[in-house]
Amino acid sequence: MITETTRFAEDVSALLKTLGVAAKTYTGGTLAVTSPVTGEVIANVVETSAADAKKAIDAAHKAFLDWRVIPAPKRGELVRIFGEELRAHKAELGKLVSIEVGKVTSEGLGEVQEMIDICDFAVGLSRQLYGLTIATERSSHRMMETWQPLGVVGIISAFNFPVAVWAWNAALALVCGDSIVWKPSEKSPLTGLATHALFERALKRYVDEGYDAPAGLSALIIGAREIGEVLVDHEKVALISATGSTAMGRAVGPKLAARFARSILELGGNNAAIVAPTADLDLTLRGVAFAAMGTAGQRCTTLRRLFVHDSVYDTLVPRLKKAYASVKIGNPMEDGTLVGPLIDKLAFDGFEKALSEAKAAGGVVTGGERVTVSGDNSYYVRPAIVEMAKHEGPVLRETFAPILYVLRYSDVKDAIAMQNDVGAGLSSSIFTNDIREAELFMSAAGSDCGIANVNIGTSGAEIGGAFGGEKETGGGRESGSDAWRAYMRRTTNTINFGSTLPLAQGVVFDV
């Protein structure tokens, strides 16, 4: 229960202290941080000035020049130690995630687990980072690829995965030989401060073990859009990995393109699932419920559109409504809660606006009421199911809140066409036991998203796969598989070990 007297400010100070954050960084500053759980202000964080942000980026560039020549497995040792710090402080950091952004306990802890997992992945990667050897057309020659460190990597992260998405980028960038500068969401600077304090602890241990780590290797800059712009515009930042809205991507992408910097953009999603006639409906129900309601609908991978075959619609949809009506909404840190708060009033207004637009378009809404948990300044809602006759209006855009639009279909090809007929292209699923449908869905004629799943929901990807999407989702890939290549520069090397100089393409140039 949250009562009138529930207050987190003290808990937050205690957690931050344990995690090694100095009180002067989050008291008396200009950035008020509100816990969405109670709506109370839990800290006033000191913001970074533009001048200090520039200094941090310059220092990161200097650090890069030293870090890039340290052998990759030795760079990996730093990430290994950081993974240990995360393991040791999983409970505290997970709780801070819950307080600062309202995730339920298991998801707050899961977020830290995702950081630990990517550290493990990156440590292994630090002994790989391999290139190819390629057949050459010239005798006594060898041709190969070498992957080299890239430079300063700027990371802009969103409130909904306030620390894990930084870790995906940071762990890879560090083993790849890059330095990093992080601008967390202004809605979640505390978890940023805490994570960075743990990283600094890891750095200290690394140096104590006898390794070299240049000053300025990793920096945290705190503030709103203007500070993000300093990062995006700085000529020494070679790559920006930004997570957020498509609108943010539209602002950032062209700026980076104009100065030929690289970008990894992980923007909006308007993810869909198709429920086919042969679907296992028990499994589908659970898959849909987690993907659509988990994290209160505030994942970029959240399931937002559901296409249900005519033959199973009247069985599945009433069951889904029942699950929606019974799910426990409330204090995310209380046992049994599955749906915590929306991040703020803006998110709530967006939720209400989309629902009224859907109603105006003839949509039938179940759920969607505001739920009072803790006063006027926190925003809890019952997730909504909206049955729509047509694929139109608010269905076509991402509303970052728990709204699931449900539509009927009769031909799987039409369902796939609808699923692809939106701007975003992040994640997608099909629930089917028909191998032909499953394969069609994953084929060139199937889903056009970066993630296409079978018999699991759209969210909750593992770190081992490359993560990202197409079209308005921005096209970047982070995390697993060979996403590391985006954090390195590829060189092609041709080596002549003979004593003549044959030219390629048969060109003769005798002097």
Catalytic residues: 266
Q: Give the nearest distance from C-beta 223 to ligand UN1 in angstroms.
A: 21
Nearer to ligand UN1, 177 or 475 (CB): 475
The stretch near ligand UN1 (CB under 6 A) out of 120-128, 175-183, 319-327, 458-466 is: 458-466
Q: Residue 246 interacts with ligand UN1 (CB under 6 A)?
A: no
User: Which residue do the tokens 């992945």 mark?
Assistant: 121
Q: For strands 424-425 and 470-471, give the pairing.
A: antiparallel
Could you give the CA distance from residue 405 to residue 386 in angstroms, rounded to a whole number? 5
Nearer to ligand UN1, 25 or 263 (CB): 263
The stretch near ligand UN1 (CB under 6 A) out of 14-22, 153-161, 216-224, 498-506 is: 153-161
Q: Give the nearest distance from C-beta 429 to ligand UN1 in angstroms.
A: 12
Nearer to ligand UN1, 218 or 459 (CB): 459
Q: In this structure, are residues 34 and 41 in contact, taking their beta carbons and an 8 Å threshold?
A: yes
Nearer to ligand UN1, 170 or 440 (CB): 170
Could you give the CA distance from residue 294 to residue 170 in angstroms, rounded to a whole number? 26
Burial of 58: CB neighbours in 10 Å, binned 0-12, 13-18, 19+: middle
Q: Which of 461, 466, 483, 486 binds ligand UN1 (CB under 6 A)?
A: 461
Q: Give the nearest distance from C-beta 162 to ligand UN1 in angstroms.
A: 10
The first and second tokens of residue 288, run together, are 């849909």
Biggest distance spanned by C-alpha atoms of the chain: 89
Q: Residue 121 interacts with ligand UN1 (CB under 6 A)?
A: no
Nearer to ligand UN1, 82 or 290 (CB): 290
Print the SS3 string covering 77-106: HHHHHHHHHHHHCHHHHHHHHHHHHCCCHH
Q: In this structure, are residues 487 and 154 in contact, taking their beta carbons and an 8 Å threshold?
A: no
Q: Give the nearest distance from C-beta 37 to ligand UN1 in angstroms.
A: 19
Q: Give the nearest distance from C-beta 371 to ligand UN1 in angstroms.
A: 23
Per-residue contact string for residues 156-195; x = within reach of ligand UN1 by CB under 6 A: --x-xx---x------------------------------
Q: For strands 403-409 and 384-387, give the pairing.
A: parallel
CA angle centred on 263, ends 258 and 266, rounded to 5°: 130
- 3-state secondary structure at position 437: helix
Q: Residue 459 interacts with ligand UN1 (CB under 6 A)?
A: yes
Q: Which of 35, 113, 243, 399 binds ligand UN1 (CB under 6 A)?
A: 243
Nearer to ligand UN1, 250 or 259 (CB): 250
Closest CA relative to residue 184, chosen from 160, 152, 215: 160
Note the Cα 303 to chain centre separation in Å.
15
Name the residue whose CB lies closest to ligand UN1.
461
Tally of residues, the chain? 511
Q: Which of 188, 270, 271, 301 binds ligand UN1 (CB under 6 A)?
A: 301
Residues in touch with ligand UN1 (CB under 6 A): 158, 160-161, 165, 243, 299-301, 459-461
